Amino acid sequence: MRYLFCPLASHGYVYPAIGIARELRARGHSIAFATDGSFGAALASQGFERIPRGSRDGMSFQVTAWGETHGLEWQIKHVRHAVETFEPDAILASQLAWGCVAAAHAAEIPVSILGFATHIFPHSDAMLANPSNPREHLHKWRYEGMMNTYAQACAIAGIQPHPSVSIDESPLLGEATLLQCVPEFLGNLPPLPSRVQCIGSCVWEPPESDAELTSWLEQSPRDWPLLYVQHGRAFAKESFWPYLIQCLADRPVRVVAVTSRMDKPVGSPPRNFFVRHHIPQGQILPHARAIICNATSTAVLGGLTHGLPMLLVPGGSSQPELAEQCEMAGISITLDHKLLDGAMVSGAVDRALEDSAMRENSCKIAAAFARICGFSRAADALISLASREGKAQPACVS
């Protein structure tokens, strides 16, 4: 079988796709990627072909443009060229890559969506029609907005949107949505739509290490607890970064921080901070005692799979419900960005480091993730998708 992978151009989307692609390749299948050229070298290092956007290559699959008209146009053009070049049996798209989903439907190729660590849409028609709590209202609002974006992408692709008769048949789920989760983490949430399945974590990183980080860790006090910090985009919201520096600068802790998506000034961190644009999570998480982040999927999955308590300050996208899910599982503390102050952050850090119940719950969730190989489950799902009779629903030309 032949599989086309179309991840948004960010480490958190591309690297999990590479991990799944490696599993499929090991089973004898052919893989090609359609994503931005900035990841060409990373793909080539793993032996994967990156198909350009066309005879004249250009930007595509930019995270910041996922819902913009030009971003949808780039995705559709890129996927069309890749389909003509590679002739895939199935496509794996990132969550939010609606231009890719529309292009797959136009080509009548089944598409699976690699989801986040929690489901971001309503679980049922009843929850869509009559949301009963803030989480369900957020899901309804997001679903309706993204259905509009999908319809816009279909118009660009020259097809009618697939009708959404029910949540179980929604085009936003593709033919299958692969949630990077385990049932134990979902707890008492309502059942997922029939097209959504939990596959475990697909976090993957290339075999690399930061020599400077290794040296810093060796020279820093070994008895000081280690905190891993990943600061994402704060947009117009309050950043936890200044409060973190304020409360940790003079404490016997070590802080390793990643700022690749940070949209606030980094400033001059204290000596007990090691700050870099990008650091392989796999190099630091086995030594960490806790994680502090905005509840981005990659960082949270790192905490979930390593049994680490978390301090979360959620921003946008799926972060609020992912933070809520972590708190419901008893593995995290959530702070409201509107109420941040130094004392609050300091107290939350203390609890993340010292709360034994939170650490025990984190280890239980990590054990549940360890029982499932996400790459294997994802490969199974894609092979099943490509082998189905009839495959994708036929597109309706506008």
Chain centre distance of CA 72: 19
Q: To the nearest whole percent, how much of the chain has pLDDT over 70?
A: 96
Residue 271 corresponds to which amino acid?
Answer: R
- State pLDDT tens for residues 371-380: 999 999 999 9
Q: What's phi and psi for 41, nearest 5 deg?
A: -65, -40
Q: Per-residue pLDDT for 236 more than 70?
A: no
- Is position 105 within any domain? yes
Question: How confident is residue 80, by pLDDT bands cut at 50, 70 and 90?
Answer: very high
Over residues 145-169, the pLDDT tens digits come to 999 999 999 999 999 987 767 999 9
* Average pLDDT value for residue range 40-57: 95
263 within some domain = yes
Where in the sequence is the domain holding 347, given as residue range(s)? 211-370
Looking at the fold, whether 190 and 41 belong to one and the same domain comes out as yes
- Judge if 164 and 247 occupy the same domain: no
Residue 397 has pLDDT above 60, yes or no: no
| CATH code of the domain containing 301 | 3.40.50.2000
Based on the domain organization, do 366 and 378 belong to the same domain? no
Let me know: does 308 contact 362? Beta carbons within 8 Å.
yes
- CA distance linking residue 225 with residue 248, whole number of Å: 12
Comparing 235 with 106, the larger pLDDT belongs to: 106
* Contact criterion met (CB below 8 Å) for 60 and 35: yes
Specify the 3-state DSSP secondary structure of 253.
coil
Q: H/E element holding 312? A: strand 310-312
**Radius of gyration of the chain, Cα coordinates, nearest whole angstrom:** 21
Co-location of 366 and 382 in the same domain: no
Whether residues 103 and 10 share a domain: the answer is yes
| Same domain (yes/no): 238, 325 | yes
**Total domain count, the chain:** 2
Residue 394 has pLDDT above 50, yes or no: no
Looking at residue 269, what is its pLDDT?
87
Higher pLDDT, 320 or 331: 331
Does residue 206 lie in a domain region?
no
Query: Does the predicted model carry a pTM greater than 0.85?
Result: yes
* Confidence at residue 139, expressed as pLDDT on a 0 to 100 scale: 95
Q: With respect to residue 112, please indicate whether it lies within any of the assigned structural domains.
A: yes
Owner of token pair 């029939």: 194
pLDDT of residue 234: 66
The confidence score (pLDDT) of residue 268 equals: 85
Same domain flag for 268 and 342:
yes
In angstroms, rounded to a whole number, what is the distance separating the alpha carbons of residues 237 and 76?
Answer: 32
Please name every residue paired with 93 in a beta bridge, in sequence order, or none if there are none. Answer: 6, 113
User: What integer pLDDT is reported at residue 235 of this predicted model?
Assistant: 64
Burial label for 25, CB within 10 Å (0-12, 13-18, 19+), is middle
User: In the prediction, which pLDDT does 208 show?
Assistant: 81
**Strands 254-258 and 176-179, sheet pairing:** unpaired
pLDDT, mean of residues 45-68? 94
Residues 287-305: tens digit of each pLDDT: 999 999 998 889 999 999 9
Q: Does one domain contain both 193 and 249?
A: no
Q: 54-63, 96-105, 237-246: which range is least confident on average?
A: 237-246
What pLDDT, on a 0 to 100 scale, did the predictor assign at position 396?
Answer: 40
* Residues 180, 104 share a domain: yes
Region 99-104: mean pLDDT is 97
| Residue 141 covered by a domain | yes
Euclidean distance between CA atoms 57 and 40, whole angstroms:
12
Residues 249, 318, single domain; the answer is yes
Q: Give the orientation angle of helix 11-26 with respect to helix 374-387, to 10 degrees.
A: 70
Task: Give the torsion sign (CA, 211, 259, 370, 359).
Answer: positive
How many whole angstroms separate alpha carbon 161 and alpha carbon 89?
Answer: 21
Express as a percent the part of the chain with pLDDT over 90: 76
Name the average pLDDT for the chain: 92
pLDDT for 5: 98
Element (H, E) at 179: strand 176-179
Pick the closest to residue 63 from 347, 317, 314 (CA basis): 317
> Torsion over CA of 203, 206, 212 and 216, rounded to 10 degrees?
30
**Angstrom distance (rounded) from CA 73 to CA 40:** 21
Cα angle at 19 between 103 and 91, to 5 degrees? 15
pLDDT for the residue numbered 165: 76
Domain check: are 175 and 222 in the same one?
A: no
Beta-bridge partner residues of 293: 230, 312
pLDDT of residue 162: 78
Flag whether 205 is in a domain.
no
SS3 labels along 206-239:
CCCCCHHHHHHHHHCCCCCCEEEEECCCCCCCCC
- Is residue 324's pLDDT more than 80? yes
Section 263-274 average pLDDT: 84
User: Average pLDDT, stretch 275-290?
Assistant: 91
Q: Is residue 157 part of a domain?
A: yes
Q: Based on the domain organization, do 190 and 268 belong to the same domain?
A: no
- Phi first, then psi: what are they for 21, rounded to 5°? -60, -40
398, pLDDT greater than 90: no
Strands 90-94 and 396-397: unpaired
